[in-house]
Chains A and B, each alone.
Chain A
Amino acid sequence: MTAPRPTTTRNLTIAILGVVSFVVLAAMPEFVGQGDLRLMIEIFTVFAFAQSWNFLAGYVGLMSFGQQLFIGLGAYFLFMTSNTWGINPFFLLPLVFVFCGLFAALVAPFVFRLRDAYFAISIWVIAEIVRLFIAQKDWLGSVSGLPLVVTRDMDRTVVAVSTYYVAALLAFLSVFGLYWLSRQKIGLALAAVRDNEGTAAAVGINVWWTRFFGFVLTGGFAGVAGAVYYMSVFHVEPGGAFDANWMVVMLFIVIIGGVGTVEGPIIGTAIYFLFRAWFAGTGNLYLMLLGAAAVITMLVASKGLWGVVKNTTGFEPFATRRLPPRQS
């Protein structure tokens, strides 16, 4: 006699969660005002940034301190192409994904020669090169940046609602897409490479290409999220788009929530925006708090808040482990 496969009920839970959040996200613009919609766009894109870094660090096993590279690249690519050819920026988003993915693919062979912190910082160096380059070139707007021209003549409400839908889609993908991906063959390969390179290679996984896939995917995704973020503010400048403080935000969200989990960064994002609302006026104190919280989490609970929740309640809707059939 065989016990019911536990994954079936789990798939059902995920499906229900997916449908419910899809409906809630889709209906949101009907119920919230213009200002709240702006905030939602920001929350969703920042969440997408955090998930892109979480995917890289927690699923691919590559830690980067230069994820702002892709945020800035995506934003600049979108602004430049849209302004130059007068194209509606929404149609350009797939191209942003391709461009940022290609950029990641180009640098990967070189940065992959370095490991751990050296890999992490080498991407930061690339972000700095791109930032300094853009800040010098007048045709890229130099230090003062670029405005987004095309959306000026469009209906403000339409732009806001469309941007919201794209941001919501990104947030949706960074939960359910990430879950789906981690259950695929490539997701399992990624997990194997992250946990033990040698063993992964021994069971026939191509370590280099698996990492490459993860790196390119996260680069493209972060690029699109960056493009959407700056689309919603209509202006981009190198100091802000390539700001290392983006890294601080992503790290905080992911570390507090729990690295390598789908759920953790959701909690992390909520805490981050609450923190920001409470301490925003305090300037540096607020950044210090973010840093200190990250240090304390690393010392006390390195799996983050979600790790604590998971261990105490056993609740784990987005589990990627396959449970063994129950013995009867």
Chain B
Amino acid sequence: MIWLETIANGILLGGLYALIGLGLGFAFGVMRVVNVAQGDFIVAAAFIGLYLYPWTPIHPILVILPVALIAFGIGILLQRLLINRVLGHDQIPQILLTFGLAIVLRNGMVAWFGANSQSINVGNMRFWGFNFLGMRLGVLPVVVLVIAIVLFAALRFWLNRSRMGRIIRATADDHQVVQLLGVNYRNVYAVAMGLALALSAVAGVLLAMRGSFTPYSGADRLLIAFEVVVIGGLGSFWGMFIGGIVLGVTQLLALKIDPSAGLMYGHIVFFIILILSPQGLSSLFSMKVFRK
């Protein structure tokens, strides 16, 4: 039973990991841009959440809304002011640019907030639990998983059905051709980066509610996001979700067996999947939103 409970908790954690990867995967799918600073933006969002939640009405968990809005704005600025300037056939400049940004952000946060471990307090909700099929599960992890699923579904629905979603998909397919149809792909990119950061920000705040974080957590967050995207198969939506769950379950099982392992077994499972199936697990699913 203890193993079943661990697996169930791993699935709950995995939903959150999937959400961490979603921002990175979405940005890559639309712009072929890999934002190496994504992990540090996730941590920055957690800090913003930490300062905003005491003022959040009704329930602290609603702090994800203002943080997502702020992150959306930051994403648009980031794309417009920095990344759009180095876009081109060569990917190296934008990767190096975001790497530099990550260093600035991380060390800026250490200087500003100190290196201590922090957590967003959601009050009693942290301790609530319920019995399900004989397992004891926490309410907060379930709420977090539900939020993750809702965001995945909402993003997919919005991309498929809305006008802006159509424009984004068209831009992802060919950013040159959409210009003939009167679309400024740079503006679309800005919106896409805003969305990517908003999704990451929600993940960052939820992660800070479930556990703790320090300004140095960004590197681990980035690696998780990256593994989720690669396991899922670059650009596949529900593949990413599966990728997150694979990582979440692996991590919790590994912690049960070997408490000092940290993320090692997650990294190893990622590597094994990479060896066995270079296309990621998405080769098992054909629901692709973006063409490769």
Contacts and interface: CB of A to CB of B under 8 A. Distances in A.
Interface in B254-282: 258, 260-264, 267-268, 270-271, 274-275, 278
Contact of A292 (B100, B234, B271, B275): B100
Given A244-B219, A287-B103, A122 B111 contact: no
B104 A299 contact: no
A290 B100 CA distance: 8
Contacts of A132: 261-264, 267
B262 A299 contact: no
B92 interface: yes
B35 to A, nearest CB: 9
Interface stretch (B158-166, B189-197, B220-228): B220-228
B95 interface: yes
Interface in B60-92: 82, 85-86, 91-92
Interface in A42-60: 57
A117 B262 contact: no
A125 B271 CA distance: 8
Interface string B100-138: 111110111011000000000000000000000000000
A287 B97 CA distance: 15
A124 B229 CA distance: 15
Contacts of B170: none
Contacts of B260: 136
B34 interface: yes
Contacts of B226: 118, 121, 125
B36 interface: yes
A199 B141 CA distance: 52
Nearest to A57: B92
A288 B108 contact: yes
B199 interface: no
A249 B107 CA distance: 14
Interface stretch (A27-35, A108-116, A150-158, A173-181): A108-116
B96 interface: yes
Contacts of B278: 113
A65 interface: yes
B68 to A, nearest CB: 24
A7 interface: no
Contacts of A111: 274
A191 interface: no
A133 B92 contact: no
Contact of B110 (A284, A292, A298): A284
B93 interface: yes
A120 B111 contact: no
Interface string A128-159: 11001100100000000000000000000000
Contacts, number: 116
Nearest to A295: B100
B230 interface: yes
A308 interface: no
A168 interface: no
A113 B271 CA distance: 12
Nearest to A244: B219
Contacts of B219: 244
Contacts of A293: 100
A110 B278 CA distance: 8
A133 B254 CA distance: 13
Interface in A243-274: 244, 248, 251, 255, 259
Nearest to B215: A284
B262 A110 contact: no
A285 interface: yes
B73 to A, nearest CB: 20
B290 interface: no
A26 interface: no
A65 to B, nearest CB: 7
B236 to A, nearest CB: 14
A114 B230 contact: yes
Interface string B12-55: 00000000000000000000001010000000000000000000
A291 B104 CA distance: 5
Interface string A227-257: 0000000000000000010001001000100
Interface of B: 34, 36, 82, 85-86, 91-93, 95-97, 99-104, 106-108, 110-111, 219, 222-223, 226-227, 229-230, 234, 258, 260-264, 267-268, 270-271, 274-275, 278
Given A111-B274, A132-B262, A285-B111, 9 more contacts: A63-B95, A116-B34, A122-B271, A132-B264, A284-B111, A288-B104, A293-B100, A295-B104, A302-B93
7 contacts: A63-B92, A116-B92, A132-B262, A132-B263, A288-B107, A291-B103, A302-B93
